[in-house]
Amino acid sequence: MNEKFYNIEVLNQDGTTQNLKEYEGKLLLIVNTATGCGFTPHYEELEAMYKDYKDKGFEILDFPCNQFANQAKGTDQEINQFCSLKYNTTFKRFKKIEVNGPNKCELFKYLEDNQPYAGKGMKLGFLSKLSKAKDNEIRWNFTKFIVDREGNVIKRIEPTTNMKDVRKIVDDLIK
């Protein structure tokens, strides 16, 4: 088990601290999201995957982020209400975070360090330029990371990746 990963603490929507140890032994898809992004319809596919695989030890951890073109406006409660009503999401949503810069959330620093940006998957190169991301930083909302059941970050998936391909990756790993 990767104790370093499982010892990371994140903030729940109500501001309480949660240790990732709760997810030990589960396959995780961790994603930074926004409700006003062109990729927001990913929520529909994410929820479908969650419903199909949650009983097989799969969890989606959703971290809203307002760092890209101000696309996650509103409070944590407003974001949660939007996702619940528009996309019927039932997976865990955490407090809004920053994924880049000096206030970067510890979890995303860890994810980036363990699955660096490979310069692939961002077919829409202008998003990378628009985000002004450096090195391994997140390029845009709906960047996804897969963490295996041992706590190892095994895949980084850029937001322009087709959700059918994301599902195939998860499907292959869930077995």
Which of 81, 78, 97 shows the shortest CA–CA distance to 89?
Answer: 81
Report the CATH number at residue 146.
3.40.30.10
Catalytic residues: 37
**What is the total residue count of the chain?**
175
pLDDT band at 175 (very low <50, low <70, confident <90, very high): confident
Which residues, other chains included, contact 85 with Cβ-Cβ below 8 Å and sequence gap of 6+?
none
Beta bridge partner(s), residue 63: 32
Higher pLDDT, 35 or 125: 35
pLDDT tens-digit series, residues 15-39: 999 999 999 999 999 999 999 998 9
**pLDDT value, residue 96:** 96
Which of 139, 137, 120 shows the shortest CA–CA distance to 129?
Answer: 139
pLDDT band at 123 (very low <50, low <70, confident <90, very high): low
pLDDT tens-digit series, residues 67-105: 998 889 899 999 999 999 999 999 999 999 999 999 999
pLDDT band at 131 (very low <50, low <70, confident <90, very high): low
Domain housing 61: 3-174
Report the domain count for the chain.
Answer: 1
